[in-house]
Amino acid sequence: MIAYAITSSQTLHFDDRFRADLERFASRADWLLYRDKGNPDYRKNARLLAESLSGMPLRLFLHDDWRLAAELGLAVHFSTRGIAGLEGAKDAGLYTVASTHSIQEALGLADRDIDAVTLSPIFATPGKGTPLGLEYLLRALEELPVPVIALGGIVDEEKIEALRRAGIFGFASIRYFAP
């Protein structure tokens, strides 16, 4: 099961904590999404991350910026707003993941050749509305032809074990990977 860490300004710092943050992510995650919405240094930081992760066992994804991901040889994770770049990313040969919030939305992206989807929120998480729940997730696993990554409210081993038992491809979280 893939462990997919999503960064925030509270979990990844580009200061004296940078190396420790990277080591923490590498010790618990397989994939890392650099998602620092609105950071004016996003491109510079993405380059630094790609360089710094060389030799570490983390697959780096960039948030929505498929052109920079292609330039750096990385993967891309599309938000609902950024999904318009999917065709360009596929033409560039990138591995693509997209955020989805329903089986129907995920099916539409599977038809467009997305490589994997996050489905959220599975469990309760602040500010994200009513959770879909495990029963809905199990239905999604049966209906979707692409790998599904559970997202939302995954903060402890109990939830991760429930996802493992469900047979999920992976889980994604911000808070689980926080210091």
pLDDT band at 55 (very low <50, low <70, confident <90, very high): confident
CB atoms within 10 A of CB 156: 12
Q: What domain range includes position 145?
A: 2-177
CB 116 within 8 A of CB 97: yes
Predicted local confidence at residue 86, as pLDDT: 97
Q: Give the residue-averaged pLDDT of 95-104.
A: 98
Predicted local confidence at residue 126, as pLDDT: 87
CB 26 within 8 A of CB 58: yes
Per residue, what are the HEC states of 31-71?
EEEECCCCCCCHHHHHHHHHHHCCCCCCEEEEECCHHHHHH
pLDDT band at 45 (very low <50, low <70, confident <90, very high): very high
Residues 6+ apart with CB under 8 A from 46: 34, 62, 65, 68, 72, 74
Residue-wise pLDDT tens digits, 75-86: 999 999 999 999
Q: Give the residue-averaged pLDDT of 116-139.
A: 95
Integer Cα distance of 17 and 37 in angstroms? 20
**β-strand partners of 61:** 33, 75
The domain spanning residue 38 has which CATH number? Answer: 3.20.20.70
Number of domains in the chain: 1
